[in-house]
């Protein structure tokens, strides 16, 4: 794992160094991580994605035997909760679609909605094709789990295979539930990028990028921790994905935004011309739905309905969101002398992103502090990127990227490590946060640069003026 020290000492370097690093990182991982997986702990082979402290009870026999067993009701209950959590995370995609539509100009709304419909659809399909296998490469359930490029092996799955639908697979849910919950997560990365690049990206370029980002980059990086890869071995802790999902999406977005450049007319003569949100009710609907969905995003990430764990995490999640909003209201008022609705909305999201990494390992008062800090961070981060002429129409880089890093570090600052064998520290958290951020940035930078050269990534000035809805789709979002 030489890549680690290399990485840490290069944080201030130029983009091309990140790219090099990312290649090294990715490469250093593909080989040893999977060597680990396949050689390391064969006894654990069945417990992919299972909380370590739960022993799957031994299981033999048919599904009917299982339904008559003692633990069947609890298994059914856990399975149901993860399904419901998957539905809640699905709702977040509607939240993203409405938030982005609301914060952007109405002339680009159809384009944004189209991208969101595309992302959730292609996200589920690519995750079925290869993402699920790539992200959770272990196991030996009679399926050929052959690592990253297990393309299509999923289709050989036998729905009647009893092992997949009993606690032999996992004490808490079936293989199918596992897939659905993880698939709903998978599309999130591309959705985050979608908001930041809105209003000037070419649709075909985005579609290709989204497929690669969701179908390849996310499961690859996700496996570092959740697939029991090298970051997991280091003790890195990221409960529901402040880094794995949010910083990943946010820094992928940053790379794309740097290549795309700002929207026309946004930075004129050194000044910043705000481009107002077109539909605040829509944006507010989006944030409330994201808040709602986050109860599944975090609460489902135990992969069980354990009352101690799930209840606690829902409370820390709600408190961080609430304090994020209050903090953003206060700090944006101090900065701009106005009670700013978009900042209040971003404050809720900042608190949610911030608590995601450590929702289960921080105290109640810490969850409020994490939210308050996140709410302040997001305000100043948005103002900072705007000053740097890095144009992010929805604030996704700040909300998901910067607050994702904050949330990951907060685990090291506030959290109490429950696993003595793999304790997390501020160092492991820094390593993880920065690994995900750099990898996502580098991957997006390389892919987007290639797409720029091959097919172009930005619409023409005339198209941008008229709006993507008319020029790319021949449809308008709002008519009489």
What is the H or E stretch that residue 285 is in?
Answer: helix 280-299
Q: Does 59 bind a second copy (CB under 8 A)?
A: no
Question: Binders of a second copy among 272-291, rule CB under 8 A?
Answer: 276-282, 284-285, 287-289, 291
Q: For a second copy, which is the closer residue by CB, 28 or 69?
A: 69
End-to-end CA gap in the chain: 60
Question: Judging by beta carbons within 10 Å of its beta carbon (0-12, 13-18, 19+), is residue 474 exposed, middle or buried?
Answer: exposed
Binding track over 93-122 against a second copy, x by CB under 8 A: xx--xx--xx--xxx-xx--xx-xxx-xxx
- DSSP symbol at 42: G
Please state, in angstroms and rounded to a whole number, the distance separating the CA atoms of residues 297 and 89. Answer: 6
- Interface residue with a second copy among 72, 380, 414, 430 (CB under 8 A) is 72
Question: Binders of a second copy among 307-346, rule CB under 8 A?
Answer: 307-308, 310-312, 314-315, 318-319, 321-323, 325-326, 329, 338-342, 344-345
Please state, in angstroms and rounded to a whole number, the distance separating the CA atoms of residues 306 and 227. Answer: 22
Please state, in angstroms and rounded to a whole number, the distance separating the CA atoms of residues 231 and 18. Answer: 18
Question: Binders of a second copy among 429-458, rule CB under 8 A?
Answer: none
Place of tokens 């069945």: 46
Nearest distance in Å: CB 306, a second copy: 7
Question: Binders of a second copy among 383-422, rule CB under 8 A?
Answer: none
13-17: Cβ within 8 A, 24+ apart: 15/255, 15/258, 15/441, 15/445
3 state DSSP class of 36: helix
Q: Which stretch binds a second copy (CB under 8 A): 7-15, 40-48, 301-309, 395-403?
A: 301-309
Q: Which stretch binds a second copy (CB under 8 A): 71-79, 193-201, 220-228, 248-256?
A: 71-79
Question: Binders of a second copy among 141-200, rule CB under 8 A?
Answer: 154-155, 157, 159, 165, 173-177, 179-180, 183
Binding track over 219-258 against a second copy, x by CB under 8 A: ----------------------------------------
Which of 368, 365, 360 is CA-nearest to residue 322?
A: 368
Please count the CA atoms within 13 angstroms of the CA of 7 that sit on its side-chain side: 25
Q: For a second copy, which is the closer residue by CB, 21 or 378?
A: 378
Nearest distance in Å: CB 436, a second copy: 26
Nearest distance in Å: CB 273, a second copy: 14
């Amino acid at each position: 794992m030489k890549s680690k020290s290399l990485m840490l000492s290069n944080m201030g370097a130029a983009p091309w160094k990140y790219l090099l690093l990312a290649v090294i990182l990715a490469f250093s991982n593909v080989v040893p991580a999977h060597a680990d997986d396949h050689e390391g702990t064969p006894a654990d082979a069945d417990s992919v994605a299972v909380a370590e402290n739960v022993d799957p009870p031994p299981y033999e026999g048919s599904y009917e035997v299982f339904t008559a067993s003692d633990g069947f009701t609890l298994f059914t209950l856990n399975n149901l909760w993860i399904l419901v959590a998957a539905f809640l995370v699905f709702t977040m995609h509607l939240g993203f679609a409405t938030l982005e539509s609301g914060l952007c100009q109405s002339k680009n709304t159809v384009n944004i909605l189209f991208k969101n419909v595309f992302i959730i659809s292609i996200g589920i399909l690519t995750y079925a094709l290869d993402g699920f296998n790539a992200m959770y490469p272990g196991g030996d359930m009679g399926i050929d789990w052959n690592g990253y490029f297990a393309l299509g092996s999923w289709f050989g799955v036998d729905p009647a295979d009893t092992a997949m639908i009993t606690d032999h697979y996992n004490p808490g849910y079936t293989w199918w539930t596992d897939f659905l919950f993880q698939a709903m997560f998978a599309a999130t990365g591309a959705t985050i990028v979608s908001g930041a690049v809105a209003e000037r990206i070419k649709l075909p370029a985005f579609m290709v990028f989204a497929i690669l980002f969701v179908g390849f980059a996310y499961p690859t990086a996700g496996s570092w921790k959740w697939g029991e890869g090298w970051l997991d071995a280091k003790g890195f802790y990221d409960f529901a994905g402040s880094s794995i999902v949010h910083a990943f999406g946010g820094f992928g977005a940053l790379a794309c935004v740097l290549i795309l450049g700002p929207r026309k007319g946004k930075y004129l003569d050194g000044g910043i011309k705000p481009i107002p949100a077109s539909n605040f009710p829509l944006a507010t609907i989006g944030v409330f739905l994201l808040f709602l969905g986050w109860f599944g995003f975090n609460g489902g990430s135990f992969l069980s309905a354990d009352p101690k764990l799930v209840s606690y995490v829902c409370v820390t999640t709600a408190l961080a969101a609430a304090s994020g909003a209050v903090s953003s209201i206060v700090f944006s008022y101090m900065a701009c002398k106005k009670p700013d609705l978009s900042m209040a909305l971003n404050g809720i999201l900042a608190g949610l992103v911030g608590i995601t990494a450590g929702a289960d390992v921080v105290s109640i008062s810490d969850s409020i502090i994490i939210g308050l800090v996140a709410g302040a961070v997001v305000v100043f981060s948005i103002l900072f990127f705007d000053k740097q002429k890095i144009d992010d129409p929805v604030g996704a880089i700040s909300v998901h990227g910067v607050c994702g890093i904050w949330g990951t570090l907060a685990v090291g600052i506030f959290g109490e490590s429950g696993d003595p064998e793999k304790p997390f520290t501020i160092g492991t958290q820094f390593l993880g946060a920065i690994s995900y951020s750099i990898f996502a940035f580098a991957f997006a930078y390389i892919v987007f640069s290639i797409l720029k050269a091959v097919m172009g990534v930005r619409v023409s000035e005339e198209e941008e003026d008229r709006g993507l809805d008319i020029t790319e789709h021949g449809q308008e979002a709002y008519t009489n």
